Amino acid sequence: MHNKTIAELAKGLADGEFSSVELTQHFLGRIDALDSQYNSFITVTPEQALAQAEAADATRAAGNAKALTGVPVAHKDIFCTNGVLTTCASKMLSNFVAPYDATVVDKFNSAGMVSLGKTNMDEFAMGSSNENSFYGAVKNPWDTNAVPGGSSGGSAAAVAARLAPGATGTDTGGSIRQPAAFCGITGLKPTYGRVSRWGMIAYASSLDQGGPMARTAEDCALLLNEMAGFDPKDSTSLKKAVPDYTADLNQPLSGLRIGLPKEYFGKELSAEMSDAIMASVKEFEKLGATVQEVSLPNTMLAIPSYYIIAPAEASSNLSRFDGVRYGYRCENPENLEDLYKRSRGEGFGKEVQRRILVGTYALSEGYYDAYYRKAQRIRRLIQQDFLNAFNEVDLIMGPTTPTPAFDLGSNTDDPVQMYMEDIYTLAVNLAGLPGISVPAGLVNGRPVGLQILAGHFKESQLLNAAHQLQTATNWHQLAPSAGQ
């Protein structure tokens, strides 16, 4: 049952092959038996999951089932879930039981879906390896010596290990696409404003975007159908009709123009990586697409721009964690200042503190223009690069990451080295574009991802291309031994 895709599970439920309770029990059993190897969940909620599954079965019996009624999924622990611990993988929120549901969670609940629990992540979504978690690192199901990527590493590992057929993730600089690539699954970062941020604990508000993670593009389309949509509670949510993302999956690709940015295939990309990506590109040519080189000249500036904007917004977003109204409070504060400084100093991990410090510095008097404002000007340049490229091509393709998953502990002492991991993904968030990572085979036994980018709100086009690739190839069906 765990090897079925969400589309197959939905069909099985509809056909009465199995009930949601059976399905849910099956996945809960797998989590219970296997997750100690991966540490992909922070909280598992069997009772709630089974209650939801029973309700889903009842809904189906009454003839009111919707597309995904009864399908179990997991939520990244950055989404608030009413009555359930919501930690953001931080000691700061290790005692925080969210008193309300995120819009995404609410939408899944209304769709009759079942939540298995909350997945591990880099603390406050800051990281590319899932090693920055108060609840310990997540291990890559393909090789438990490797990182699963981050920050949505728990969601990616859980889906890859078949502990959940799909999961939610969030992507601020690559946090859906990079772990999807490292774990050999499919992950979609929608256009900024497509999925509501209400109840999604903010890292960098102008970059954060929730999205689906699953094994196939079709599954991502099904999940996005339930996630996307205007939310009056989110001022940055776009009032734009949501199409049926499965409608265009089977459109032929003849005449599709694909651009390969020359900056994404430079010398930092190994030959093996490049070969893997080009093999996928070849498949698109076979499907009738044309391929040309494009240029995104300001690619290298995405890293500095991102590492100012994201920490600056984070430094302010994380000020609310002060030990006053909820969350961690230090023992015996001597006075108010001590309460603040120790609660925050003890409650936040190192990488979070580093980014708060950088962001605070970048916004402080005398540096604002040189850092924050400058970074926002560069942000416009980067967006313009993409818009120019999309005048020439329909989709942009390249590697999701420069390398396959690296070993646990190999990058942790050098934050800057770690930041370079995001070189291909960051710019997409700065520009607000949608992007998807799809499995593109293995390099040195570890999965790599092909990243496909499209213009704003063209998720359907991304999903169509990804689905066609997955119809023509079987890279997405490769599974770690653990998952079989």
Residues 45-84 that bind another protein (CB under 8 A): 79-80
* Residue from 29, 99, 252, 266 in contact with another protein (CB under 8 A): 99
Q: Is 151 a catalytic residue?
A: yes
The reply to whether 341 sits near another protein by the rule CB under 8 A is yes
Q: Which stretch binds another protein (CB under 8 A): 110-118, 178-186, 325-333, 439-447?
A: 325-333
Q: Which stretch binds another protein (CB under 8 A): 28-36, 53-61, 228-236, 435-443?
A: 228-236
The reply to whether 344 sits near another protein by the rule CB under 8 A is yes
Residues 164-193 that bind another protein (CB under 8 A): 191-193
* Residue from 431, 440, 454, 482 in contact with another protein (CB under 8 A): 431
Are the C-beta atoms of residues 158 and 38 closer than 8 Å to each other? yes
Q: Give backbone dihedrals phi and psi of 245, rounded to 5 degrees, phi first.
A: -70, -10
Kindly tell me which of 146 and 195 has the beta carbon lying closer to another protein.
195
* Residue from 15, 325, 391, 481 in contact with another protein (CB under 8 A): 325
Task: Tell how far CA 217 is from the center of its chain.
Answer: 14
| Number of chain positions touching another protein (CB under 8 A) | 102
Active-site choice (20, 115, 175, 237): 175
Min dist CB 346 to another protein, Å, is 7
The reply to whether 91 sits near another protein by the rule CB under 8 A is no
Min dist CB 326 to another protein, Å, is 4
Min dist CB 347 to another protein, Å, is 10
* Residue from 62, 241, 271, 416 in contact with another protein (CB under 8 A): 416
Task: Tell how far CA 427 is from the center of its chain.
Answer: 15
Neighbours of 37 (CB within 10 A): 13
* Gap between the Cα atoms of 112 and 366, Å rounded: 52
Active-site choice (90, 128, 151, 460): 151
Neighbours of 470 (CB within 10 A): 21
Name every residue whose Cβ is closer than 8 Å to that of residue 8 and which is 6 or more positions away in sequence: none
Written as one letter, the residue type at 459 is E
* Gap between the Cα atoms of 109 and 100, Å rounded: 13
Neighbours of 275 (CB within 10 A): 11
* Gap between the Cα atoms of 66 and 157, Å rounded: 27
**Helix (H, G, I), strand (E, B), or coil: what is residue 242?**
coil
Q: Is 175 a catalytic residue?
A: yes
Residues 250-289 that bind another protein (CB under 8 A): none
Kindly tell me which of 315 and 437 has the beta carbon lying closer to another protein.
315
Active-site choice (19, 76, 118, 460): 76
* Gap between the Cα atoms of 416 and 402, Å rounded: 15
Min dist CB 461 to another protein, Å, is 18
Q: Which stretch binds another protein (CB under 8 A): 29-37, 38-46, 141-149, 361-369?
A: 361-369
Min dist CB 170 to another protein, Å, is 11
Min dist CB 334 to another protein, Å, is 7
* Gap between the Cα atoms of 260 and 188, Å rounded: 19
The reply to whether 233 sits near another protein by the rule CB under 8 A is yes
The reply to whether 388 sits near another protein by the rule CB under 8 A is no
**Helix (H, G, I), strand (E, B), or coil: what is residue 172?**
coil
The reply to whether 439 sits near another protein by the rule CB under 8 A is no
* Residue from 26, 66, 257, 354 in contact with another protein (CB under 8 A): 354
Name every residue whose Cβ is closer than 8 Å to that of residue 248 and which is 6 or more positions away in sequence: 460, 461, 463, 464
Helix (H) or strand (E) holding 44: strand 41-44
Bond before 343 cis per omega within 30 degrees: no
The reply to whether 95 sits near another protein by the rule CB under 8 A is yes
In terms of C-beta density within 10 A (0-12 exposed, 13-18 middle, 19 or more buried), how is residue 90 classed?
buried
Min dist CB 78 to another protein, Å, is 8
Which two three-digit tokens encode residue 128? 């590319």
Task: Tell how far CA 153 is from the center of its chain.
Answer: 8
Residues 190-219 that bind another protein (CB under 8 A): 191-193, 197-202, 204-206
Q: Which stretch binds another protein (CB under 8 A): 19-27, 159-167, 246-254, 310-318?
A: 310-318
Residues annotated as part of the active site:
76, 151, 175
